[in-house]
Structure 1
Amino acid sequence: MTVPARLSIVTLGVTDLGRSTAFYQALGWPLSARSSGEISFFRTGGALLALYPTAELAADALLPAQDVTGFRGSTCAINVGSESEVDEALAVALAAGAELLKPAQKVEWGGYSGYFADPDGHAWEVAYNPFWPLNDQGLPELPEPAQPA
């Protein structure tokens, strides 16, 4: 057996479940009916996004809870179909209460992206990559590399 190569659920630890749930709803993400006062679920184009209190998430993983500020060693990304969609998504996030980490701009790899942080500081990139078309679910398709002639 191998470990299945699929991401099923991304769980973000949050300090205030109600505040964080309201933030993601303000992004336009529908809250799953399976959510409760203890955990929130959002269906994305691929994996589920779950929000769960940080201390309880740490205890579930048998890890010490830490007060984390600054960069956490990971980011989440949302790919969109154009530069204008990057700008629009960042504007919606800021209106919902996000902090702008990096304004949208052309980047060295040929795309266009910017970053925001949710109310708990989780970093999200919103990116347009002209080299990766989006499929029907809005997920990037990675083209095969060109074969040498």
Structure 2
Amino acid sequence: MGADVPRTPNSLGVTFGVDAEQWLGNWQAGADRVAVVSAGERSRTTASVAGGDDVVAELTGAVETVPETSDVSVVGELVNEYLVKWRGDGDTTVYVDDLTTLLDSVSAETAFRFVHALLARATATDARVVVSMDGDAHAPHVVGTFEALFEDVRR
């Protein structure tokens, strides 16, 4: 995540291959609420997807883990829980770091569906999504497919 990306009161990281603690350290300052959904990280207890837990709405610095990077459905469910709970409590941004790592674990079609669903959930809850991706690591048609999903693309 670059320094030119503005921060919002509510920041939710979705990390693929980036240590959750490192992400929190970079993004926690100045935010009202910060949480991370970390895929592929096995060092913590596996996240529960059971709804109705108000802890999501209150914690800052919470880390939810999903053992397999490829389990994008669980990642999406956890992100949705935060977006729903935080809706109406200030601007929320979901930072996906790093799509390139996800593409190493799933097909481009699966990753596209994940990002598309994430964008739909964000739109429904008045949040925004910022995604990092190493464009040089993928074929131009793959990069173009993902760029088409976003209004603002920075290289």
Same fold (TM over 0.5): no
**Is the helix fraction higher in 1 or 2?**
2
Asked which structure has the greater RCO (Cα within 8 Å, sep 6+), the reply is 2
Q: Which has the larger radius of gyration?
A: 1
**Is the strand fraction higher in 1 or 2?**
1
